[in-house]
Every structure is written in C-alpha cells, then in structure tokens.
Amino acid sequence: MNLPNKLTLARIIAVPFFIAAFMMKFYMISLVIFALASLTDMLDGKIARARGLVTNFGKIMDPLADKILVYSALCLFIDIRVIAGWTLIIILAREFTVAGMRTVAASEGRVLAAGMSGKIKTVLQMIAVILIILALAVPSVSVIMTAGLVVFYASLAMTVYSGCEYVLQNKDVFSM
C-alpha cells in the first residue's frame, strides 16, 4: 500500500478516536485529531499526483474518508444541538445523488470527475468543523462559534450549488 493510501486509511482509523474524544468532551483533543485527519486529505492527493501514485483504492476511498470524517462531526454537532438535523439531510441528499449518478455512469464505463465547487464545499465543511470544535473548547470566545456557523452555512450553500452544478453538467447520465 502506497503512502497516499496509508494517509487515507489513517483518516478513516482516526474517526473513532475523534468521536470518542468529542463525546468525552475532550474538545481540544478531538480538534487536534480532526485537524490532523483533515490535513491528510490535502497531503494524500498532492503526494499521489506528484509521485504518480493514483490508485483505484485512492479514487474511491479518499472522498469516502472525507465524508466519514466530516459527517461524523456533523452528527455529533446535531447531538449537542449546535446545528439542525435538516442541514445534514440536505448534505446527504446531495451526496446520495452524486453517488448514484457516479454509479450509473460507472456501469456504462464512464467516470464522472469531481468539480471544483465540490472540493470547495469539502474545505468549507472542514474549516467549519474546526471552528465549531474550537468554539466548544474555548467557550469564552463566542465569536468563534459565530464564525464556525457562518462557514458551516456557507458550506451548506456550496453543497446545494455544487450538487446542482454536478447534476446539470452530467444530466445525460439520467438517459443511460
């Protein structure tokens, strides 16, 4: 297994530790775990492209690892009532739509690439999660939570935008 794939796998393995630390209210520890795991997302892609180590495992597991990490955090935020459940429903609806379209396209031997707006969505989500956890770790600085929620709702808007963009750019998949 190459280094980028190991980083992707490390991100997935980090999730239960992140969840445990968060649930025990060790917010600073959960923040460090989440931030380091988020950094592996940036690193694995750069290393894979630079060294020609792009694999089918990486193509499938890298975006899945991102979703497992970020959506675990969002579920935890819903549990403590920081964000509303309907926001995650919108996010998951977009993800299931994109995954379904990719599955149909793959069955026809076609690969649907991720767009820049989807990558921006993921980065915004990761920043929002980091800010919200930081706000929980340092509750005396209320502006951090406000900033985290602003970035989260910006990521939600980007989720809707990127989903619509993806569907419109690949609408021919519906006729396959």
- Residue-wise pLDDT for 31-43, tens only, equals 999 999 999 988 8
d(CA 123, CA 117): 10
Q: What is the mean pLDDT of residues 138-146?
A: 96
- Look-up of token digits 């579920």: 75
CATH dotted code for 3-175: 1.20.120.1760
d(CA 47, CA 53): 7
pTM of the entire predicted model: 0.93
Q: Contact at 8 Å (CB) between 4 and 50? A: no
Output the average pLDDT for the chain. Answer: 93
Q: What is the mean pLDDT of residues 85-93?
A: 98
What are the structural domain ranges in the chain?
3-175
Q: What is the mean pLDDT of residues 133-142?
A: 96
Q: What is the mean pLDDT of residues 86-90?
A: 98
Least Cα distance to 91 among 107, 71, 120 occurs for 71
Count the Cβ atoms, other than its own, within 10 Å of residue 46.
Answer: 11
Residue 59 pLDDT: 79
Residues 6+ apart with CB under 8 A from 17: 33
d(CA 145, CA 167): 33
Residue 111 pLDDT: 79
Residue 63 pLDDT: 86
**C-alpha distances in Å from residue 54, one per residue of 48, 87, 116, 172:** 5, 33, 19, 27
pLDDT 10s digits, 93-121 = 999 999 999 889 888 888 777 789 998 99
Residue 94 pLDDT: 97
